[in-house]
Amino acid sequence: MANELYHFVGGKKVKGKSGRFGDVYNPTTGELASRAPFATADEVREVIANSAAAFPDWAATSPLARARVMFKFKELCEAHADELARLISNEHGKVLSDAKGSLQRGLEVVEFACGIPHLLKGEYSEGVSRGIDLYSMRQPLGVVAGITPFNFPAMVPMWMFAVGIACGNTFVLKPSEKDPSCPLRLAELMLEAGAPPGVLNCVIGDKVAVDTILTDPNVKAVSFVGSTPIAQYVYTTAAQHGKRVQAMGGAKNHMIVMPDADLDQATDALIGAAYGSAGERCMAVSVAVPVGQKTADALIERLVPRVRALKVGPSTAPDSEMGPLVTKEHLAKVKGYVDHGVKEGAKLVVDGRDLKLQGYENGYFMGGCLFDNVKDGMKIYEEEIFGPVLSTVRAETFEEAIRLPSDHAFGNGVAIFTRDGDAARDFASRVQVGMVGVNVPIPVPLAFHTFGGWKGSAFGDTNQHGPEGVRFYTKIKTVTSRWPTGIRAGADFNIPTMR
């Protein structure tokens, strides 16, 4: 019988009351692993109320004390890294090395949040006028929430709650119902690290839970990562209910390969960026853009044997380079995109649709797929596939290589591989995409910078983590101060000026 999961509320495991569940599978075997309770609207409101009750004391806790909780949380996550990585692999399907890497990228934001005493420092101007000083402070919002995707069940939640909690907010986390065990464990570790009960609550659910979070007046801000249609819905709905929103959507990340590029380096980069985590990354490179026919032919010649040789296997096997996709439904969806690409006339030079692993016939596996001669306007070019499928679009000129990602509906990430510094600088300046890599295939900024795309890849005015994350999870208060000595008696009916 499948294990029944729980919500984590007020420092306790709480059994679901709705009677509705979502099935959580092991993608490697296709077996039912557990059942996740889907919270009712009333249950979600109870979770939010619990967080609201915990807020005043946590907001009054000094930034230094909050930082110490973050230090301890980081220490506990590192001590439990193998356990957390295995939880990710068993429910998501990404290989253990990738799971550990994503955990580390999440912990880098926790490290950034450990500097919250410095990050919350305000500004002070002495003597802006006779006897008047002016200063600003940043204060927490209250209850904030994160709605996170299946593809990074540790990293993305930590990108959100580490900064939000360090700023003095209490946090309601609604993880993906496809792989919730790692987020639940993170909430337990946060309690063990010294965060009071209710500072980090974790509730599992579907659209009912999401809509309750988006509309409850006690939730002051919502952070989301997922597909573009849902990101737009989250942004619109939450904003209409007076909340701050940052909603990160889908992507179609291009990698430009210039004629002067080191093609062996570019090939290595494409293999890792396109097929790592079975392509289930919002920063995965899904479009290769070689410039010039000679470059394209040489690149395809190198890619084909590498894609065919990918070691696809169980997510926990040490030699696996690529594991299964997350669910049977998603596997069928990705294969459907490949079918459509063939019908549209793209050349499928490596076909991984029929891959079967002995002993794991019920797992959600497919091999890497590689398309050539993909055209602007094809469905496989315009839409996010979110699987191990790389499309090659041949560009004749550098200008066309800039135009392709710039004109695309998504604007998350882009990379250029070249030895020409002038071309790289020109590309980085002109391309209309939010994150750019120069000889770096997946340009995810480190924690002390900020993560976020443009156009259909992001909704809202602030991005994830870094200084923008601190601004998102705080409100600024400005104080103009004057003390009685030397104040002239009598009313002044003019607008105050600094004189």
Q: What is the DSSP track for 414-479? A: EEEE-S-HHHHHHHHHH---SEEEES-SS-PPPTTS-B--EETTEESS--BSHHHHHHHTEEEEEE
**Alpha helical stretches, state H, 40-126:** 41-60, 63-79, 81-92, 96-113, 116-119
Q: What sections of 221-321 are H helices per DSSP?
A: 228-240, 263-275, 293-308
Which listed residue (114, 182, 202, 282) is catalytic? 282
Cα–Cα–Cα angle for 268, 269, 270, rounded to 5 degrees: 95
Name the nearest CA neighbour of 213 among 247, 158, 174, 161.
174
Is 282 an annotated catalytic residue? yes
CA separation, residue 298 to residues 255, 301, 461 (Å): 15, 5, 42
Q: Which residues fall within 8 angstroms of residue 146, CB to CB, at 6 or more apart?
A: 156, 157, 160, 161, 164, 171, 172, 173, 174, 222, 223, 224
The DSSP result for 179-220, as a single string, is S-HHHHHHHHHHHHTTPPTTSEEE---SHHHHHHHHH-TTEE
For residue 389 the two structure tokens come to 């499928």
Closest alpha carbon to 92 in 8, 11, 163, 179: 179
The 3 state secondary structure assigned to 101-164 is HHHHHHHHHHHHHCCHHHHCCCCEEEEEECCEEEEEEEEECCEEEEECCCCCCCHHHHHHHHHH
| Helix (H) / strand (E) containing 364 | none
Residues known to be catalytic: 282
